[in-house]
Amino acid sequence: MPSASVLRVQIEHTLAGRFPSALTPAPRTVRECAAVGVAEIDRLLDGGLPVGAISEIIGPASSGRTSLALAFVAQRTNAGQVCAWVDVGDALDPESAAASGVNLRRLLWVRCRSEAARAKGKRLPRLGQALRATDLLLNARGFAAIVIDMGDLPPEQGREITLAAWYRFKQAAYESRTSLVVLGKAASALAAAAVVLECTPGRLDGTNRTVWDSHAFDVKLSREKAAGGLMRKPPASTWTAKSAWATGTKL
């Protein structure tokens, strides 16, 4: 009886004309990524956030999620690329974005208002406005990065977005080579996300009670989708934002 290796060679030889290397595994491809601009996070991600895919940065308020997204957008806009910030809660502070290094001339700010827009005669809530805007931006192409900031929404609202919608965004991001970054209190894109970063507040360092010199954030890569499937990595990084915030200012 011929061995398994002999049978394999015979089958591949038979199928070679129609299906070359039928039993040969496809080679792994290196994932294209873009640097976040924070050395500790770029090391954690082996280079940065994926291009043409969905990344989620989640955590409570003051956990560093917005700071990470602004650092990433600053990298892209200062490289001459155009980005968009879909602001579900209308919470983005342009002065803070500029202080983080974002080139505001290359940032499209989509503000979702409480006085909801109308679509087909019906009022469209903020989240609906954000999803519609994201769909239009992805299909327009030309944006290196699009951030959907759902940080002010309760987690259950984010989970109302259907998986079909996330997979549609995933395909559109892949075709347009856009890094789609989702900010929220909890993960909502589920299996459609290539990377999920979990942020938690760290320590505060200050010279007195009214001014903070720096704020340390703990970041965990909770899920990463690679060519071979899903793999998990342990908590791995702490990074520090050096600045000064007055007491009571939202970080």
Name the pTM for this structure.
Answer: 0.75
Q: Positive or negative CA dihedral for 60, 217, 100, 42?
A: negative
* Tens of each residue's pLDDT in the chain, 251 residues: 567 777 666 766 666 666 555 455 544 456 799 999 998 889 888 899 999 999 999 999 888 899 999 999 999 999 999 999 999 999 999 999 999 999 999 999 999 987 554 555 555 689 999 999 999 999 999 999 999 999 999 999 988 999 999 999 999 999 999 999 999 999 999 899 999 999 888 655 555 555 444 456 778 887 666 544 444 444 445 544 443 232 233 33
- What's the pLDDT score for residue 97? 95
Q: How far apart are CA 2 and CA 16, in angstroms?
A: 20
Chain center to CA of 200: 17
Q: Which residues of 220-239 are buried (b: 16+ CB within 10 A; e: fewer)?
A: bbbbbbeeeeeeeeeeebeb
- What's the pLDDT score for residue 31? 76
Domains of the chain plus CATH, in order, are: 26-246 (3.40.50.300)
Angle at 162 between CA 71 and CA 138, to 5 degrees: 45
Q: Which residue bears the tokens 């496809």?
A: 26
Run of H or E residues at 27:
none
Q: How far apart are CA 202 and CA 238, in angstroms?
A: 8
Q: Which residue bears the tokens 């942020």?
A: 199
- What's the pLDDT score for residue 251? 33
Angle at 36 between CA 50 and CA 214, to 5 degrees: 150
- What's the pLDDT score for residue 219? 82
Grouping H, G, I as helix, E, B as strand and the rest as coil, residue 172 is helix
Find out whether 105 and 131 touch, Cβ atoms under 8 Å. no
